[in-house]
Amino acid sequence: MTRSTSRAATLLALPALAVALLFLLPLAIMAGESFVRRTADGRVSLSADQYARFFSDSFYAGSLGLTFGTAVLVAAASIAIAYPVALVYWRAGRRARSLILVLLLAPFYANIVVTVLGWIVLLAPGGVVNVLLLKAGAIAAPVDLLNGYGAVFVLSVHRALPFVVLLLANALANIDDDVLQCARVCGASGPRVFRTIVFPLGMPGVAASAVVAFSLTAAGFVIPRLVGGATGSRFAAVLMYQQMTATQNWPFGAAIGVLLLVASVLAVAGGLQIARRLRAGRVLGDAFLQ
């Protein structure tokens, strides 16, 4: 082994060790805890009772459906809202792009908790939105826009939008302008150019955006915990937190965490498989998709 190869192996070993200690080891401990059964006399044994309890109770089993159903809806809504913004960013000049980029990156400058608290100020019964609706005569009395599924959905879309716009814009930027000019020279209208060229070649960006938005929502804890109310307490991440903190049932909370992780990985793998079959553009490269 040459000196350069040895140095490269050492540099790769350090982050690999950090990942193993800080990520894989805690996951392994959590997975092991989910199979632990403790009796009243202090004995410990291995059992799958926690998983049987989860799937036998419709309340807990339904949490996965609620979590991933919401993640799919958020991904679809984020892409639908972000696509026009990505198109504008793609065709904008340098100054306009700089302004749009600053606005897109602005949410990253604040912690997610601060962002949610800002939305609480806007949506509270005495907040800005209710005041404007009252002045406009749209409502007769303040409406509680928080503590429900709608607030979770809106805030989750807001959180995912910057990621989705940037991924879509990157995919559109990879489209060769010569292809668009050839289509226009051949007489294709703007809508047809978008339908037959821009949208198909931008599909990898759509796939990547869907995966990111889905993952952020499925693993989200702060948003459903702070603004979800009774509905938010049914999200898988919140259930896991409640079992580990409020009830101190660590094995059951660990089982929920393992199921959430496995289901998320399977869902993302399925999305990447669909993206690989689309095989258009180069946002997700072949090596990444295979």
Backbone angles phi, psi at 26, to 5 degrees: -60, -35
**From the CB of residue 226, how many other CB atoms can be counted at a distance below 10 Å?**
20
| CATH number, position 64 | 1.10.3720.10
Say if CB 260 and CB 214 are below 8 A apart.
no
In a domain, 216, yes or no: yes
pLDDT, one tens digit per residue, over 74-104 is: 999 999 999 999 998 888 888 888 888 888 8
Q: Is the pLDDT of residue 161 over 50?
A: yes
pLDDT, one tens digit per residue, over 11-62 is: 788 888 887 888 888 888 888 888 888 776 667 778 888 899 999 988 888 9
Quick one: pLDDT at residue 11?
76
| Three-state SS sequence of 219-278 | CCCHHHHHHCHHHHCCCHHHHHHHHHHCCCCHHHHHHHHHHHHHHHHHHHHHHHHHHHHH
In a domain, 153, yes or no: yes
In a domain, 121, yes or no: yes
In a domain, 276, yes or no: yes
Q: Is residue 36 helix, strand or coil?
A: strand
Quick one: pLDDT at residue 1?
52
Q: Is the pLDDT of residue 185 over 70?
A: yes
In a domain, 275, yes or no: yes
| Over residues 264-268, mean pLDDT | 86
Quick one: pLDDT at residue 4?
64
pLDDT, one tens digit per residue, over 105-153 is: 887 777 888 888 888 888 888 888 888 888 888 888 888 888 889 899 9
The sign of the torsion formed by the CA atoms of 226, 227, 231, 237 equals: negative
Q: Is the pLDDT of residue 288 over 70?
A: no
Identify the residue with better confidence: 232 or 11.
232
In a domain, 20, yes or no: no
β-bridge mates for residue 46, sequence order: 36
In a domain, 157, yes or no: yes
The rounded distance, in Å, linking the Cα atoms of 192 and 229 is 45
β-bridge mates for residue 107, sequence order: none
CA dist 171 to 83, 85, 203, 238, 283, Å? 11, 13, 8, 34, 6
The rounded distance, in Å, linking the Cα atoms of 25 and 238 is 22
pLDDT band of residue 264 (cuts 50, 70, 90) is confident
| Over residues 57-75, mean pLDDT | 92
Quick one: pLDDT at residue 235?
94
| Over residues 259-284, mean pLDDT | 72
Domain count, the chain: 1
Say if CB 112 and CB 106 are below 8 A apart.
no
Quick one: pLDDT at residue 282?
43
- E strand or H helix that includes residue 37: strand 36-38
**What mean pLDDT value characterizes the chain?**
83
The rounded distance, in Å, linking the Cα atoms of 84 and 202 is 13
Quick one: pLDDT at residue 3?
63
In a domain, 152, yes or no: yes
pLDDT band of residue 280 (cuts 50, 70, 90) is very low
The residues, any chain, with a CB within 8 Å of residue 144's CB and separated by 6 or more, are 125
pLDDT, one tens digit per residue, over 48-57 is: 888 999 999 8
Domain that holds residue 162: 47-289
